Structure 1
Amino acid sequence: MWVALPLCLLSALLATGSALQCEVCASKELSCSGPLQPCAPSEGTCVTVVAEMRLEGNSFSYTAKSCLEPKNCEPGPFSQTYTHNVTVRVNIACCDTDGCNAGAIPVPTVSSVPNGRQCQSIFIMDRFHMQPVGILACTGAEDHCVEESGILTLGGITVMKKVGGCASPRACMKRVGERKYAQGVMELLHWADCYPAPRTGGGIREP
Protein backbone atom coordinates (compact mmCIF):
# COMPACT_ATOMS: atom_id res chain seq x y z
CA MET A 1 0.00 0.00 0.00
CA TRP A 2 2.80 2.41 0.94
CA VAL A 3 4.53 1.61 -2.36
CA ALA A 4 1.35 2.17 -4.36
CA LEU A 5 0.64 5.58 -2.83
CA PRO A 6 3.83 7.31 -4.08
CA LEU A 7 3.27 5.75 -7.52
CA CYS A 8 -0.25 7.21 -7.66
CA LEU A 9 1.02 10.64 -6.65
CA LEU A 10 3.77 10.46 -9.27
CA SER A 11 1.25 9.50 -11.96
CA ALA A 12 -0.98 12.43 -11.02
CA LEU A 13 1.95 14.86 -11.18
CA LEU A 14 3.04 13.53 -14.57
CA ALA A 15 -0.51 13.83 -15.90
CA THR A 16 -0.74 17.44 -14.70
CA GLY A 17 2.64 18.28 -16.17
CA SER A 18 1.69 16.90 -19.57
CA ALA A 19 -1.39 19.15 -19.99
CA LEU A 20 -1.30 21.46 -22.99
CA GLN A 21 -0.58 25.09 -22.09
CA CYS A 22 -2.04 27.94 -24.15
CA GLU A 23 -1.78 31.70 -24.08
CA VAL A 24 -5.03 33.10 -22.63
CA CYS A 25 -6.17 36.70 -23.13
CA ALA A 26 -8.93 38.91 -24.53
CA SER A 27 -8.83 42.43 -25.94
CA LYS A 28 -10.91 44.97 -27.85
CA GLU A 29 -7.97 45.29 -30.23
CA LEU A 30 -6.68 43.19 -33.14
CA SER A 31 -4.15 41.46 -30.89
CA CYS A 32 -3.60 40.52 -27.24
CA SER A 33 -1.11 38.71 -25.03
CA GLY A 34 -1.41 36.93 -21.72
CA PRO A 35 0.02 34.17 -19.53
CA LEU A 36 0.26 30.51 -20.44
CA GLN A 37 -2.42 28.49 -18.66
CA PRO A 38 -2.87 24.69 -18.47
CA CYS A 39 -5.79 23.29 -20.43
CA ALA A 40 -8.40 20.83 -19.27
CA PRO A 41 -7.87 17.20 -20.38
CA SER A 42 -10.51 17.56 -23.12
CA GLU A 43 -8.95 20.78 -24.45
CA GLY A 44 -6.20 19.64 -26.80
CA THR A 45 -6.09 22.79 -28.93
CA CYS A 46 -4.85 26.36 -28.52
CA VAL A 47 -6.96 28.86 -30.46
CA THR A 48 -6.74 32.48 -31.55
CA VAL A 49 -9.86 34.28 -32.76
CA VAL A 50 -9.65 37.80 -34.19
CA ALA A 51 -12.69 39.69 -35.46
CA GLU A 52 -13.39 43.13 -36.88
CA MET A 53 -16.84 44.57 -37.50
CA ARG A 54 -17.44 47.76 -39.45
CA LEU A 55 -20.77 49.45 -38.81
CA GLU A 56 -21.61 52.62 -40.73
CA GLY A 57 -18.12 54.07 -40.52
CA ASN A 58 -17.30 52.76 -37.03
CA SER A 59 -14.91 49.85 -36.47
CA PHE A 60 -15.10 47.36 -33.59
CA SER A 61 -12.36 44.78 -32.94
CA TYR A 62 -12.01 41.79 -30.63
CA THR A 63 -9.29 39.20 -30.05
CA ALA A 64 -9.44 36.13 -27.82
CA LYS A 65 -6.90 33.37 -27.13
CA SER A 66 -7.60 30.27 -25.05
CA CYS A 67 -7.70 26.50 -24.80
CA LEU A 68 -10.39 24.76 -26.83
CA GLU A 69 -11.73 21.28 -27.54
CA PRO A 70 -10.39 20.22 -30.97
CA LYS A 71 -13.89 19.37 -32.25
CA ASN A 72 -14.91 23.03 -31.88
CA CYS A 73 -12.11 24.44 -34.01
CA GLU A 74 -12.57 25.01 -37.74
CA PRO A 75 -9.62 27.22 -38.66
CA GLY A 76 -9.38 29.73 -41.46
CA PRO A 77 -10.60 33.21 -42.32
CA PHE A 78 -14.10 34.14 -43.42
CA SER A 79 -15.93 37.37 -44.14
CA GLN A 80 -19.56 38.50 -44.33
CA THR A 81 -21.13 41.66 -45.76
CA TYR A 82 -24.71 42.39 -44.69
CA THR A 83 -25.12 45.81 -46.32
CA HIS A 84 -22.68 48.12 -48.06
CA ASN A 85 -21.66 49.64 -44.69
CA VAL A 86 -21.88 46.63 -42.34
CA THR A 87 -19.13 44.00 -42.63
CA VAL A 88 -17.63 41.27 -40.44
CA ARG A 89 -14.12 39.87 -40.89
CA VAL A 90 -12.99 36.88 -38.79
CA ASN A 91 -9.88 34.71 -38.63
CA ILE A 92 -9.43 31.56 -36.52
CA ALA A 93 -6.14 29.73 -35.99
CA CYS A 94 -5.64 26.47 -34.05
CA CYS A 95 -2.50 24.61 -32.97
CA ASP A 96 -1.56 21.91 -30.49
CA THR A 97 1.79 22.68 -28.85
CA ASP A 98 2.56 24.68 -25.71
CA GLY A 99 2.28 28.42 -26.28
CA CYS A 100 1.71 28.02 -30.01
CA ASN A 101 -1.06 30.65 -30.10
CA ALA A 102 1.31 33.49 -29.18
CA GLY A 103 1.50 36.34 -31.66
CA ALA A 104 -1.11 37.95 -33.89
CA ILE A 105 -3.05 36.75 -36.93
CA PRO A 106 -4.54 39.05 -39.59
CA VAL A 107 -8.21 39.63 -40.33
CA PRO A 108 -9.08 38.85 -43.98
CA THR A 109 -9.51 41.56 -46.57
CA VAL A 110 -12.20 41.57 -49.25
CA SER A 111 -11.95 43.04 -52.71
CA SER A 112 -14.48 45.73 -53.64
CA VAL A 113 -14.68 44.38 -57.21
CA PRO A 114 -18.16 42.91 -57.95
CA ASN A 115 -18.08 39.16 -58.65
CA GLY A 116 -21.39 38.98 -60.53
CA ARG A 117 -23.39 37.45 -57.66
CA GLN A 118 -26.06 38.82 -55.32
CA CYS A 119 -27.83 38.11 -52.01
CA GLN A 120 -30.73 39.42 -49.95
CA SER A 121 -29.48 42.02 -47.45
CA ILE A 122 -30.69 42.30 -43.85
CA PHE A 123 -29.16 43.47 -40.56
CA ILE A 124 -30.97 43.55 -37.21
CA MET A 125 -28.82 43.54 -34.06
CA ASP A 126 -30.29 44.72 -30.75
CA ARG A 127 -30.57 48.51 -30.93
CA PHE A 128 -29.27 48.62 -34.51
CA HIS A 129 -32.37 47.94 -36.59
CA MET A 130 -32.08 47.89 -40.36
CA GLN A 131 -34.86 46.23 -42.31
CA PRO A 132 -34.09 44.37 -45.56
CA VAL A 133 -32.65 46.89 -47.98
CA GLY A 134 -33.12 44.81 -51.11
CA ILE A 135 -30.44 43.13 -53.16
CA LEU A 136 -26.75 43.30 -52.24
CA ALA A 137 -24.13 42.92 -54.99
CA CYS A 138 -21.39 40.56 -53.75
CA THR A 139 -17.69 41.35 -54.16
CA GLY A 140 -14.36 39.56 -54.09
CA ALA A 141 -14.40 36.02 -52.65
CA GLU A 142 -17.83 36.48 -51.07
CA ASP A 143 -19.71 34.24 -53.51
CA HIS A 144 -22.16 32.68 -51.02
CA CYS A 145 -25.34 33.96 -49.36
CA VAL A 146 -25.62 33.62 -45.59
CA GLU A 147 -28.69 33.98 -43.35
CA GLU A 148 -28.46 33.67 -39.55
CA SER A 149 -30.45 34.47 -36.44
CA GLY A 150 -29.47 33.88 -32.83
CA ILE A 151 -27.37 35.17 -29.93
CA LEU A 152 -23.73 36.26 -30.04
CA THR A 153 -21.57 36.63 -26.90
CA LEU A 154 -18.32 38.55 -27.27
CA GLY A 155 -16.47 39.12 -24.02
CA GLY A 156 -19.04 40.56 -21.64
CA ILE A 157 -21.43 41.68 -24.40
CA THR A 158 -24.39 39.56 -25.55
CA VAL A 159 -26.54 40.64 -28.51
CA MET A 160 -29.47 39.24 -30.47
CA LYS A 161 -29.03 39.24 -34.22
CA LYS A 162 -30.75 38.49 -37.49
CA VAL A 163 -28.52 39.00 -40.50
CA GLY A 164 -28.24 38.15 -44.17
CA GLY A 165 -25.89 39.02 -46.99
CA CYS A 166 -22.83 37.94 -48.96
CA ALA A 167 -20.15 35.71 -47.43
CA SER A 168 -17.00 33.79 -48.25
CA PRO A 169 -17.35 29.98 -48.44
CA ARG A 170 -15.86 29.30 -44.99
CA ALA A 171 -18.76 31.18 -43.39
CA CYS A 172 -20.79 28.06 -44.20
CA MET A 173 -19.19 26.33 -41.20
CA LYS A 174 -21.81 28.04 -39.02
CA ARG A 175 -24.60 25.70 -37.92
CA VAL A 176 -27.72 25.74 -35.76
CA GLY A 177 -26.89 25.23 -32.07
CA GLU A 178 -24.33 26.48 -29.59
CA ARG A 179 -20.72 26.95 -30.62
CA LYS A 180 -17.71 28.06 -28.60
CA TYR A 181 -15.02 29.74 -30.70
CA ALA A 182 -12.74 30.65 -27.77
CA GLN A 183 -13.02 31.60 -24.12
CA GLY A 184 -15.65 34.36 -23.96
CA VAL A 185 -16.67 34.00 -27.62
CA MET A 186 -19.91 32.01 -28.00
CA GLU A 187 -22.68 31.86 -30.57
CA LEU A 188 -26.12 30.25 -30.29
CA LEU A 189 -27.84 30.11 -33.68
CA HIS A 190 -31.55 29.38 -33.99
CA TRP A 191 -31.35 29.54 -37.78
CA ALA A 192 -28.38 29.27 -40.15
CA ASP A 193 -28.28 28.85 -43.92
CA CYS A 194 -25.45 29.29 -46.39
CA TYR A 195 -25.60 28.55 -50.11
CA PRO A 196 -23.92 29.60 -53.39
CA ALA A 197 -25.06 33.07 -54.35
CA PRO A 198 -27.15 33.33 -57.54
CA ARG A 199 -25.87 35.29 -60.49
CA THR A 200 -26.85 38.93 -60.80
CA GLY A 201 -30.28 39.17 -62.39
CA GLY A 202 -31.34 35.72 -61.15
CA GLY A 203 -33.89 34.93 -58.46
CA ILE A 204 -33.02 35.07 -54.75
CA ARG A 205 -34.43 33.47 -51.63
CA GLU A 206 -36.50 35.58 -49.30
CA PRO A 207 -35.22 35.83 -45.70
Structure 2
Amino acid sequence: MGSPNESPANESPLTGRCSCSHVRYTLSSPPLIVHACHCTYCQRETGTSFALNALYEPDRVHTTLSTGESGEEAETQLLRKGIPTATSEAEGQVMVRCPECFTVLWSHYSGTTRSLLRIVRVGTIDGLVDGEKYVPSGGFRPHAHIFAGSGSKRHRWFDIPEGDVVFEEYGPMEEYWPKESLERYKAFSDRVGSKEQGK
Protein backbone atom coordinates (compact mmCIF):
# COMPACT_ATOMS: atom_id res chain seq x y z
CA MET A 1 0.00 0.00 0.00
CA GLY A 2 1.18 3.51 -0.74
CA SER A 3 1.53 6.21 1.87
CA PRO A 4 -1.84 6.81 3.53
CA ASN A 5 -1.43 10.57 3.22
CA GLU A 6 -0.10 12.85 0.54
CA SER A 7 2.17 15.64 1.71
CA PRO A 8 1.31 17.85 3.60
CA ALA A 9 -1.49 15.93 5.37
CA ASN A 10 0.61 15.22 8.45
CA GLU A 11 0.99 18.93 9.15
CA SER A 12 -1.04 20.22 12.06
CA PRO A 13 -3.24 21.96 12.67
CA LEU A 14 -5.61 21.37 9.80
CA THR A 15 -8.90 23.21 9.52
CA GLY A 16 -12.31 22.33 8.14
CA ARG A 17 -15.79 23.76 7.79
CA CYS A 18 -19.34 23.17 6.69
CA SER A 19 -20.67 24.35 3.32
CA CYS A 20 -21.91 27.72 4.65
CA SER A 21 -18.87 28.31 6.93
CA HIS A 22 -21.06 28.76 10.02
CA VAL A 23 -19.18 25.88 11.67
CA ARG A 24 -15.41 25.74 11.51
CA TYR A 25 -13.12 23.31 13.25
CA THR A 26 -9.43 22.79 13.87
CA LEU A 27 -7.74 19.37 14.00
CA SER A 28 -4.77 19.53 16.37
CA SER A 29 -3.01 16.38 15.14
CA PRO A 30 -2.96 13.87 12.30
CA PRO A 31 -5.87 11.39 12.47
CA LEU A 32 -5.67 8.02 14.16
CA ILE A 33 -6.74 6.35 10.93
CA VAL A 34 -8.43 7.17 7.63
CA HIS A 35 -10.77 4.68 6.00
CA ALA A 36 -13.05 4.61 3.00
CA CYS A 37 -16.38 3.06 3.98
CA HIS A 38 -18.22 1.51 1.04
CA CYS A 39 -21.31 0.34 2.96
CA THR A 40 -24.70 1.18 1.46
CA TYR A 41 -25.58 3.30 4.51
CA CYS A 42 -22.62 5.60 3.84
CA GLN A 43 -23.46 5.64 0.15
CA ARG A 44 -26.99 6.79 0.96
CA GLU A 45 -25.99 9.31 3.65
CA THR A 46 -23.33 10.98 1.51
CA GLY A 47 -24.95 10.56 -1.91
CA THR A 48 -21.63 9.19 -3.15
CA SER A 49 -19.95 5.82 -3.69
CA PHE A 50 -18.20 5.78 -0.31
CA ALA A 51 -17.47 7.96 2.71
CA LEU A 52 -13.88 8.98 3.40
CA ASN A 53 -13.51 9.22 7.18
CA ALA A 54 -10.70 10.34 9.50
CA LEU A 55 -10.94 9.18 13.12
CA TYR A 56 -9.96 11.59 15.91
CA GLU A 57 -10.14 11.70 19.67
CA PRO A 58 -12.77 14.33 20.64
CA ASP A 59 -10.24 16.63 22.35
CA ARG A 60 -8.33 16.99 19.06
CA VAL A 61 -11.31 18.56 17.26
CA HIS A 62 -11.98 22.17 18.30
CA THR A 63 -15.19 23.79 17.04
CA THR A 64 -15.92 27.49 16.42
CA LEU A 65 -19.14 29.09 15.15
CA SER A 66 -19.43 32.21 12.98
CA THR A 67 -21.34 33.80 15.88
CA GLY A 68 -18.24 33.58 18.10
CA GLU A 69 -19.02 30.58 20.30
CA SER A 70 -16.32 27.94 20.55
CA GLY A 71 -15.54 24.68 22.30
CA GLU A 72 -18.34 23.09 24.31
CA GLU A 73 -20.56 26.16 23.87
CA ALA A 74 -20.38 25.73 20.08
CA GLU A 75 -20.81 21.95 20.31
CA THR A 76 -24.19 22.28 22.03
CA GLN A 77 -25.58 24.11 18.99
CA LEU A 78 -24.72 21.41 16.45
CA LEU A 79 -27.54 19.14 15.26
CA ARG A 80 -27.32 15.45 16.20
CA LYS A 81 -29.43 12.69 14.71
CA GLY A 82 -28.95 8.93 14.89
CA ILE A 83 -29.37 7.00 11.65
CA PRO A 84 -29.14 3.26 10.87
CA THR A 85 -25.71 1.96 9.86
CA ALA A 86 -24.01 -1.28 8.91
CA THR A 87 -23.01 -1.95 12.53
CA SER A 88 -25.04 -3.67 15.22
CA GLU A 89 -25.21 -0.49 17.34
CA ALA A 90 -28.85 -0.03 18.41
CA GLU A 91 -28.80 3.76 18.02
CA GLY A 92 -26.91 3.62 14.75
CA GLN A 93 -24.43 6.36 14.01
CA VAL A 94 -25.05 9.87 15.31
CA MET A 95 -24.55 12.43 12.52
CA VAL A 96 -23.33 15.83 13.71
CA ARG A 97 -24.46 18.62 11.40
CA CYS A 98 -24.24 22.37 10.96
CA PRO A 99 -27.56 23.83 12.22
CA GLU A 100 -27.67 26.21 9.23
CA CYS A 101 -26.71 24.23 6.10
CA PHE A 102 -27.02 20.69 7.58
CA THR A 103 -23.61 19.54 6.34
CA VAL A 104 -22.44 16.43 8.22
CA LEU A 105 -19.09 17.38 9.75
CA TRP A 106 -18.47 14.20 11.72
CA SER A 107 -20.31 11.34 13.33
CA HIS A 108 -19.87 8.98 16.26
CA TYR A 109 -21.38 5.86 17.75
CA SER A 110 -22.41 5.61 21.38
CA GLY A 111 -21.73 3.09 24.08
CA THR A 112 -18.08 1.99 23.82
CA THR A 113 -14.71 3.74 24.01
CA ARG A 114 -14.12 3.30 20.29
CA SER A 115 -17.55 4.81 19.71
CA LEU A 116 -16.49 8.07 21.36
CA LEU A 117 -14.08 8.78 18.52
CA ARG A 118 -15.11 11.46 16.05
CA ILE A 119 -15.46 10.17 12.51
CA VAL A 120 -14.62 13.36 10.61
CA ARG A 121 -15.84 13.59 7.01
CA VAL A 122 -12.62 14.19 5.09
CA GLY A 123 -14.46 16.21 2.43
CA THR A 124 -15.10 18.93 5.04
CA ILE A 125 -11.36 19.41 5.70
CA ASP A 126 -9.90 22.45 3.96
CA GLY A 127 -7.53 21.98 1.06
CA LEU A 128 -3.90 23.07 1.24
CA VAL A 129 -1.43 24.57 -1.18
CA ASP A 130 1.86 22.66 -1.30
CA GLY A 131 4.17 24.80 -3.40
CA GLU A 132 2.08 25.41 -6.51
CA LYS A 133 0.03 22.24 -6.09
CA TYR A 134 -3.43 22.25 -4.50
CA VAL A 135 -3.95 19.30 -2.16
CA PRO A 136 -7.68 18.67 -1.48
CA SER A 137 -9.03 17.82 1.97
CA GLY A 138 -5.67 17.84 3.73
CA GLY A 139 -4.27 15.23 1.33
CA PHE A 140 -5.76 12.28 3.18
CA ARG A 141 -6.09 8.91 1.51
CA PRO A 142 -7.40 5.78 3.21
CA HIS A 143 -5.32 3.37 5.27
CA ALA A 144 -8.02 0.79 4.40
CA HIS A 145 -11.29 0.25 2.53
CA ILE A 146 -14.04 -1.22 4.71
CA PHE A 147 -17.22 -2.97 3.57
CA ALA A 148 -15.38 -3.24 0.27
CA GLY A 149 -14.54 -6.93 -0.30
CA SER A 150 -15.78 -9.19 -3.08
CA GLY A 151 -19.03 -9.90 -1.23
CA SER A 152 -19.74 -6.24 -0.48
CA LYS A 153 -22.05 -3.77 -2.19
CA ARG A 154 -19.32 -1.36 -3.22
CA HIS A 155 -19.50 0.13 -6.70
CA ARG A 156 -17.59 -2.17 -9.05
CA TRP A 157 -16.56 0.64 -11.40
CA PHE A 158 -14.37 1.98 -8.58
CA ASP A 159 -11.03 0.19 -8.76
CA ILE A 160 -9.35 0.02 -5.38
CA PRO A 161 -5.65 0.74 -5.90
CA GLU A 162 -3.51 -2.37 -5.97
CA GLY A 163 -1.90 -3.02 -2.60
CA ASP A 164 -4.53 -1.12 -0.59
CA VAL A 165 -5.93 -2.89 2.47
CA VAL A 166 -9.50 -4.16 1.91
CA PHE A 167 -11.93 -5.67 4.40
CA GLU A 168 -15.30 -7.34 3.85
CA GLU A 169 -16.60 -5.44 6.90
CA TYR A 170 -14.58 -3.76 9.66
CA GLY A 171 -11.03 -4.97 10.00
CA PRO A 172 -9.11 -5.59 13.23
CA MET A 173 -7.33 -2.39 14.28
CA GLU A 174 -4.07 -4.28 14.76
CA GLU A 175 -4.02 -5.25 11.08
CA TYR A 176 -3.95 -1.76 9.60
CA TRP A 177 -3.67 0.98 12.23
CA PRO A 178 -0.18 2.51 12.48
CA LYS A 179 1.68 1.69 15.71
CA GLU A 180 1.55 5.33 16.87
CA SER A 181 -2.23 5.35 16.36
CA LEU A 182 -2.70 2.17 18.38
CA GLU A 183 -0.66 3.77 21.20
CA ARG A 184 -2.73 6.97 21.01
CA TYR A 185 -5.94 4.95 21.04
CA LYS A 186 -4.79 2.99 24.11
CA ALA A 187 -3.98 6.25 25.93
CA PHE A 188 -7.42 7.60 24.98
CA SER A 189 -9.11 4.39 26.18
CA ASP A 190 -7.22 4.59 29.47
CA ARG A 191 -8.31 8.23 29.98
CA VAL A 192 -11.95 7.36 29.24
CA GLY A 193 -11.78 4.34 31.57
CA SER A 194 -10.34 6.47 34.39
CA LYS A 195 -13.13 9.04 33.99
CA GLU A 196 -15.77 6.29 34.02
CA GLN A 197 -14.34 4.80 37.23
CA GLY A 198 -14.27 8.24 38.85
CA LYS A 199 -18.04 8.73 38.42
Larger Rg: 1
Structure with a larger share of its residues in helix: 2
* TM-score normalized with structure 2 length: 0.23
Which structure carries more relative contact order (alpha carbon 8 Å, separation 6+)?
2
Structure with a larger share of its residues in strand: 1
